Amino acid sequence: MEMIFIAVRKLPHEKALEETMSEGIKIVRDELEHFLEGRDKVGYLAALKAAATSARWSEVKGAVEIGKGSPVNDATVHNILESLKAATLIDEKEKVYRVKDPMLRTLLLTSQIT
């Protein structure tokens, strides 16, 4: 996409990269919103935001509880994490959950989605 901005719109490299990132984040936000339809948005976003900085299971559970403002059971956290892994939004390595996609990670860490 960056080449389109450079070639068609004749933008400088840095501006083209900035616009490419902006467009990419919009696409990722739309895809994430679609994924969250019919799901516990607060719980899923809390888990994703925790995983955006790499988190252990207990940290994810704590983030979900803070997000929801109440205790959650282990099965709820397990189901959220398994759904996120199945959708390839996070991965798990050595009991640490992490958002691997840099655009999704940027979206989550810059609070561009609530």
d(CA 93, CA 23): 30
Nearest Cα to 88, choosing from 15, 18, 9, 28? 28
Beta bridge partners of 93: 96
Q: What's the pTM value of the predicted model, to 2 decimals?
A: 0.83
Task: Look at phi and psi of residue 111 and say left if phi exceeds 0, alpha if psi is from -120 to 50, else beta.
Answer: left
pLDDT in tens, 4-42: 444 455 667 677 667 777 888 999 999 999 999 999 999
Domains of the chain by start residue, with CATH: 2-109 (1.10.10.10)
Segment 39-86, tens digit of pLDDT: 999 999 999 999 999 999 999 999 999 999 999 999 999 999 999 999
Tracing tokens 């935001």 back to the chain, one arrives at 49
